[in-house]
Structure 1
Amino acid sequence: MDAANETTGRTDLRRPLVDQKPPSDVGLESVLTERSLPYWRRMYLGACIEMKLLFSLALPAIFVYVVNNGMSITARIFAGHIGGKELAAASIGNSCFSLAYGLMLGMGSAVETLCGQAYGAHRYDMLGIYLQRATIVLTLVGLPLTLLYTFSYPILVLLGEPKSVSHMASLYIAGLIPQIFAYAVNFTSQKFLQAQSVVRPSAYISAAALLLQILLTWITVYVMGLGLMGVAYVRTISWCVIVGAQTLYITNSQRFRHTWTGLSWRSFQGLWSFFKLSAGSAIMICLEIWYSQILVLLAGLLTNPDLSLNSLSICMSISAFTFMVSVGFNAAASVRTSNELGAENPKSALFSTWMTTFVSLLFSVVEALAVMVSRDYVSYIFTADAEVAKAVSDLCPFLAVTIILNGIQPVLSGVAVGCGWQTFVAYVNIGCYYVVGIPVGCILGFTFDFQAKGIWTGMIGGTLMQTLILLYVTYQTDWDKEVEKAKKRLDMWDDKK
């Protein structure tokens, strides 16, 4: 690679991919191991290289996740302006549908580990096989989910939600069912692209889909009068547009001629083993996503459930929006870590981990300060109800603490995905979230009558405990051993071997 490319950390797409090194190989490891340079000089040069690589991945990924989450927030905004019950129904519907979102996103992270490490190790032909296997497995998993959401009304009533809201939420969920299979294709495709540091095309596609959704939702709600169901139908259509455009890009672009070689019967081999690997990833991600969504469901059991649901759903929408920034750094951390481990660069993997964590934390602090400054006004984006606005303002300090913790925790989870620690993190999540966080929240919220503040305090406690454990484990990691584990993992999953 020429000197200009070594300086910028970019690959030359005009030359065959097999003759190039991936971006993770360029410069960083040699700088960090150059003993002739003073320590702080190595750190400075390493930071310059890493920041270029990090932001080239993180910024487009942040945009993709912000836009995708914006599709959900847009749906809630339109629902909120239709009526209070519609907002509550959309909030519960989105919370319940997060089961599918979390499951598909989690199972897709297995592709993230394998594709990232395979790309770093220059085993390009396996990326397309991993993509196809994951899509098949996730599509099969979507079938029982379809049955579950078909009977969402009795399930919501059984959980104690108000019948009128449960009925509206169940209809809303029914309109979202095709999204399950859109998720199956979208998340695996995103991980396939991210592993190769290709993120911008997904950003352009997602932006176009969001604009389309806003336009079509306005037409269906205010012109056609379809109400809440119009919001659900358009949201599903928008996701199908993303999947179609992304699939066409992967299958027709010369950029992936070495990593996508077409459909192959090899993708049907070892599906059960791939399912087990994906299941560990799914449990890790689902436990994290469900944790915050359970907060919304518990709010329906509090005194004055409509006010609690509306205020918490608005706060959770803001939290989810800021969380997308951290998820962008999560994706960057996962790609950088897996690429470096696959390329046998342990010092680069370590350096990238802490650099990404630090940058993400800075962003989250700025976001938390912005929330506190606008605490009395931010709720009017979603609703004109002054009582809801006051409740949201009271919850903003809890929201600010959550945002800061979310600046660290997702990045460490991304490192875990890059290293293949999903099963271990799943156990950590169970203990911190469901043994500590939710029980403490219920005791404070119901027994001590702190209401929504008590539930949220428990959630913060669980997240803080999980973050501290992941920080300690990451600090104690032997990165040379992680390189060896990555080599063994790739050998095990390489069909030719």
Structure 2
Amino acid sequence: MEEDQISVLQSPLVLNQERSHGFSGEVHQQEGYYREEVVEEVKKQLGLALPLIAVSLLQYSLQVISIMFVGHLGELPLSGASMATSFASVTGFSVLLGMGSALETLCGQAYGAKQYHMLGVYTQRAMLILTVLSIPLAFIWFYTSTILISLGQDHEISIEAGKFNRWMIPSLFAYGLLQCLNRFLQTQNIVIPMMISSGITALFHIFVCWVLVFGFGLGSKGAALANAISNWVNVIFFMAYVKFSPICMKTWTGFSEEAYHEVLSFLKLAIPSAIMICLEYWSFEMVVLLSGLLPNPKLETSVLSISLNTCWMVYMISVGLGGAISTRVSNELGGGHPQSARLAVCVMTIVAISEGAIVAAITIAFRHLWGRLYSNEEEVITYVAKMMPLLALSDFLDGFQCVLSGAARGCGWQNLCAFINLGAYYVVAIPCAVLFAFFFHIGGMGLWMGIICGLCVQVVALITINLCTNWDTEARKAVNRVQKTGVLIE
């Protein structure tokens, strides 16, 4: 008891001399962190997060720009394109995104352990697997209209959605490769070239959309084709950088036969990663599908699609923050620095809360103007304005959970997070959404209220897990994961 009291009363100077030693001899203190440590961590995270936020927004903007162009063709093309992108996200993009996110754990921890050549091997293995996976997903996209009609969706909207997705099939293969290259560069803290490439592609996409939609008169099909063209342009930029940049010489040593080995080992992490992300993404997209069953489905689908696109666009900010914390945690754990990983999570949590509050305030302030960017219909604009306060709350919660989920990916907790997401969204969110929308007759706003209930459960669960984490144990697990590749840590 006396020793505890002395410990509490010690001066910072004495504490600095008597810091306890963690895994791999890392120096840290149990009572807290020093100001210089926090400041240094903030600098590292902002240097990663700001460019990654830009990358996420710019890459997602391709879809938003296409929807905006189609929105000015009329209500039916907008509903069809919105339904198509929701279906494409559920059956394609979210699956590839989830599978690719396994590289955040593998590449991040290998980079922290200084096993640089393994980053190229992991990435090539992921590129191979995601390309093969894209083939059956392309068949699903080809029959989009048939599937939607069989699910009871509006016939006209389903036909429009089917046309859109057939023209977007080439984008599927590009998207899978892009996710792998994103993680390969991100885990090495190479983010500025990613931002520049994505920025050039976004500007190019505006031009391509205008030419194909209005110049060649292809309408919504032109917007879908523009998505494919722009995604492939970005992939080419990334591949050229990886191939010719001296920065990637250690991590990309050419194509290796090792990429064909340990496929099952990769899938053991990639499949839970995909389940973890898909369960979350699918629940949001189900809101749009359920809106097609409400009275006045064209209005409800249009408004819910605009709301979802807005939510995903804001979510890209959180994706950037989540990518930054995933990289910091995986790098530090791979390098055997558990308390640095813990500090990174603490710092990013504060950043996420601040970012969420600012975004929520901006969302509410611009609620009467946002709908006009997507539609000329006054009914749509008014309805969007009513939805924005709910969007503000969901954006805040979603941003917070995205950062905690990023830390989980850095640790390799995909299996645990998959169960959390299953409970949060399919035991709580979707049943509540159906209850509010169809039994309490709140309509599209009720669907979104259900999603907010699920987000609350997810955030509470993730906070609890992070508070109970033994970071020394996580560092040992990370080192063991790298060693299982057959290479001893340098």
Change (3 A) 1:354 1:424: same
Q: 1:48 aligns with which of 15, 39, 44?
A: 39
Q: Deviations over 1:283-315 (max 9, x none)?
A: 111111111111111111111111111111111
Q: Is the 8 A contact 2:111 2:187 kept in 1?
A: yes
**Equivalent residue letter for 1:80:** G
Structure 1 residue 428 corresponds to structure 2 residue 420: yes
How many Å separate the matches in 2 of 1:32 and 1:218?
Answer: 57
Q: Deviations over 1:56-84 (max 9, x none)?
A: 11011000110111111101100100111
How many Å separate the matches in 2 of 1:247 and 1:142?
Answer: 19
Partner of 2:359: 367
How many Å separate the matches in 1 of 2:27 and 2:59?
Answer: 37
Structure 1 residue 290 corresponds to structure 2 residue 282: yes
Q: 1:309 aligns with which of 296, 301, 317?
A: 301
Structure 1 residue 219 corresponds to structure 2 residue 184: no
Superposed displacement of residue 32, structure 1: 6.8
Superposed displacement of residue 34, structure 1: 6.4
Superposed displacement of residue 177, structure 1: 0.8
Q: Give the unaligned 5+ runs of structure 1.
A: 1-28
2:86 aligns to what SS in structure 1?
Answer: helix
Deviates more, 1:486-495 or 1:190-199: 486-495
Structure 1 residue 57 corresponds to structure 2 residue 48: yes
Superposed counterparts of 1:92-491, under 5 Å: 92-98=83-89, 99-491=91-483
2:250 aligns to what SS in structure 1?
Answer: coil
How many Å separate the matches in 2 of 1:330 and 1:416?
Answer: 10
How many Å separate the matches in 2 of 1:351 and 1:332?
Answer: 13
2:157 aligns to what SS in structure 1?
Answer: helix
RMSD: 1.6
Q: Is the 8 A contact 2:141 2:169 kept in 1?
A: yes
Superposed displacement of residue 30, structure 1: 10
How many Å separate the matches in 1 of 2:246 and 2:81?
Answer: 41
Superposed displacement of residue 488, structure 1: 1.2
1:438 aligns to what SS in structure 2?
Answer: helix
How many Å separate the matches in 2 of 1:383 and 1:375?
Answer: 14
Q: Is the 8 A contact 2:326 2:407 kept in 1?
A: yes
**Equivalent residue letter for 2:75:** G
Q: Is the 8 A contact 1:104 1:184 kept in 2?
A: yes
Structure 1 residue 84 corresponds to structure 2 residue 75: yes
Q: Is the 8 A contact 2:26 2:337 kept in 1?
A: no
How many Å separate the matches in 2 of 1:69 and 1:146?
Answer: 20
Partner of 2:64: 73
Superposed displacement of residue 251, structure 1: 1.2
**Equivalent residue letter for 2:51:** P
Q: Is the 8 A contact 1:61 1:328 kept in 2?
A: yes
- TM-score using structure 1 length: 0.91
2:484 aligns to what SS in structure 1?
Answer: helix
Partner of 1:33: 28
1:407 aligns to what SS in structure 2?
Answer: helix
How many Å separate the matches in 2 of 1:209 and 1:256?
Answer: 22
Superposed displacement of residue 185, structure 1: 1.0
Superposed displacement of residue 272, structure 1: 2.4
**Equivalent residue letter for 1:85:** L
How many Å separate the matches in 1 of 2:486 and 2:445?
Answer: 50
Superposed displacement of residue 342, structure 1: 0.6
Q: Deviations over 1:371-424 (max 9, x none)?
A: 111111111111111111111111111111101102210001100100000011
Q: Is the 8 A contact 1:190 1:202 kept in 2?
A: yes
How many Å separate the matches in 2 of 1:48 and 1:379?
Answer: 40
How many Å separate the matches in 1 of 2:452 and 2:395?
Answer: 10
Q: Give the unaligned 5+ runs of structure 2.
A: 1-23
Superposed counterparts of 1:1-40, under 5 Å: 33=28
